[in-house]
C-alpha cells in the first residue's frame, strides 16, 4: 500500500471491536427487516477511506467494507450510502468500494463528499426513499470525537424505523468537560453534540455522561426503544469510548445483549495478538498464555 495515499491515522487494535459489532449486527438486522419492511438501507456517516490502521504495520478494513462483506446472500440492503467530507479519503473509499462491490456482487454503493450534519438537515428522504412506514435503516455513526450533531442523530431516528450503532467519545468528553464549561467555542460544540446545554450539569463521571446521552436517545422515539452500550478499553484497561446501540426491535435487543457478553470477554491485547498471528508477525499465540 502506498502510504502517501493513505488518509487515516492509527486508531489502535481496540477499534476492531466496533468493526466486529457492525459485522455481528448486519445478518440478524437484515433477517428481521425482510419480514417487516419493503426496503432497507445502510448508512455510514463518517466512512473514512475504507481501511483502518491499528499500528504502523497493521491495517484492517473499515466499516463500509465490513458492511459489504457482512451482507448475507439471501437479503441485501437497497443501497450503501457513505458520507466522508474529506475529498482524499472519499476518493480512496470510492475506489475501494468499487472493487469490493464488484468482487462480492453487492451494491449499489454511493460515496457522498459531504458533511453528514449538513446533508441530513436538508432531505434524508432522498437517501432512504419510500414510505417511511415501510423502510428501515442500519446506521453506523463513528466520528473521531464530537463531530456528529444531536440534530443529525435525531433526524435519522425520527425519519423511519431503524437501528443505530454509534461510537461515543467517553474519554475525550471526560477529559474536556470542565474546559468546555469555560471555553465558549468548545461549549458550543458540546451543546451541538448533546442537543442542549444540560450537559453543563453533568458530573465528571463516565457512567453519568454516557447514561445522560443514552437516556436522551431513548426518548427520541419513545419507551419501546432499547439503548445499550459496550465500553471499549485500551490495553491498560482505560475506557476510551463506548459503542452505543439503539433499536426498537426486541429481537435485535437480544442480539446486542449477546454481542455485549461476547465482546466484554475479548481484551484489546487478544485482538493485537490474533492480528499478529494472522499477519505472520508471530507464529503462535504466546500472549494468550
Q: Give the HSE-up count for residue 195: Cα atoms under 13 Å, Cβ half-sphere.
A: 14
Angle at 243 between CA 158 and CA 81, to 5 degrees: 50
Tell me the pLDDT tens digit for each residue of 219-249. Answer: 998 767 899 999 998 888 899 999 999 999 9
- Would you tell me how many other CB atoms lie within 10 Å of the CB of residue 57? 11
Q: Which residues contact 207 (CB under 8 A, 6 or more apart)?
A: none
pLDDT for the residue numbered 199: 96
Q: Which of 104-108, 170-174, 283-287 has the highest mean pLDDT?
A: 170-174
Q: Which residues contact 289 (CB under 8 A, 6 or more apart)?
A: none
Query: Which DSSP string corresponds to 60-101?
Result: EE-HHHHHHHT--SS---SEEEEE--SHHHHHHHHHHHHHHH
pLDDT for the residue numbered 274: 64
pLDDT for the residue numbered 235: 82
**Beta partners for residue 79, in sequence order:** 41
Quick one: which H or E segment has residue 164? Answer: strand 161-168
Q: Give how far the C-alpha of residue 232 lies from the chain's centroid of Cα atoms, to the nearest Å.
A: 13
Listed by start position, the domains of the chain span 13-281
CATH for 13-281 is 3.40.50
* Cα separation, 121 vs 149, whole angstroms: 10
- Would you tell me how many other CB atoms lie within 10 Å of the CB of residue 223? 6
Lowest mean pLDDT among 31-40, 91-100, 127-136, 159-168: 127-136
Q: Which of 45-59, 73-87, 108-122 has the highest mean pLDDT?
A: 73-87
Checking if the pLDDT of 289 tops 50, the result is no
User: Residues 271-288, buried b or exposed e (16+ Cβ, 10 A)?
Assistant: bbbbbbbeeeeeeeeeee
* Cα separation, 108 vs 273, whole angstroms: 35
pLDDT for the residue numbered 1: 43
* Cα separation, 18 vs 243, whole angstroms: 7
Positive or negative, the CA dihedral 168, 169, 171, 172 is: negative
DSSP 8-state class, residue 10: B
* Cα separation, 181 vs 27, whole angstroms: 42
pLDDT for the residue numbered 123: 62
Mean pLDDT of all residues belonging to the chain:
87
* Cα separation, 273 vs 275, whole angstroms: 5
pLDDT for the residue numbered 284: 52
Amino acid at each position: 500500500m502506498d502510504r502517501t495515499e493513505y488518509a487515516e491515522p492509527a486508531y489502535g487494535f481496540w477499534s476492531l471491536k466496533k468493526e466486529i459489532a457492525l459485522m455481528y449486527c448486519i445478518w440478524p438486522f437484515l433477517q428481521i427487516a425482510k419480514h417487516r419492511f419493503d426496503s432497507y438501507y445502510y448508512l455510514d456517516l463518517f466512512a473514512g477511506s475504507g481501511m483502518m490502521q491499528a499500528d504502523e504495520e497493521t491495517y484492517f478494513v473499515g466499516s463500509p467494507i465490513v458492511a459489504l462483506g457482512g451482507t448475507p446472500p439471501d437479503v441485501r440492503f437497497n443501497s450503501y450510502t457513505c458520507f466522508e467530507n474529506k475529498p482524499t479519503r472519499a476518493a480512496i473509499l470510492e475506489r475501494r468500494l468499487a472493487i469490493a462491490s464488484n468482487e462480492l456482487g453487492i451494491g449499489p454503493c454511493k460515496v457522498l463528499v459531504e458533511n453528514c450534519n449538513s446533508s441530513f438537515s436538508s432531505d434524508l428522504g432522498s437517501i432512504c426513499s419510500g414510505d417511511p412506514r415501510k423502510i428501515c435503516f442500519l446506521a453506523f455513526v463513528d466520528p473521531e470525537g464530537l463531530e456528529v450533531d444531536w440534530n443529525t442523530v435525531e433526524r435519522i431516528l425520527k425519519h423511519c424505523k431503524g437501528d443505530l450503532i454509534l461510537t461515543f467519545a467517553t474519554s475525550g468528553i471526560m477529559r474536556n468537560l470542565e474546559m468546555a464549561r469555560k471555553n465558549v467555542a468548545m461549549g458550543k460544540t458540546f451543546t451541538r453534540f448533546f442537543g442542549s446545554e444540560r450537559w453543563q450539569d453533568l458530573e465528571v463521571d463516565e457512567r453519568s455522561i454516557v447514561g445522560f446521552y443514552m437516556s436522551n436517545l431513548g426518548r427520541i422515539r419513545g419507551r419501546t426503544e432499547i439503548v445499550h452500550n459496550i465500553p471499549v478499553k485500551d490495553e491498560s484497561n482505560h475506557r476510551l469510548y463506548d459503542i452505543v446501540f439503539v433499536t426498537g426491535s426486541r429481537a435485535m435487543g437480544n442480539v446486542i445483549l449477546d454481542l455485549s457478553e461476547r465482546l466484554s470477554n475479548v481484551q484489546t491485547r487478544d485482538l493485537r495478538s490474533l492480528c499478529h498471528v494472522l499477519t505472520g508477525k508471530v507464529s503462535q499465540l504466546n500472549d494468550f498464555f
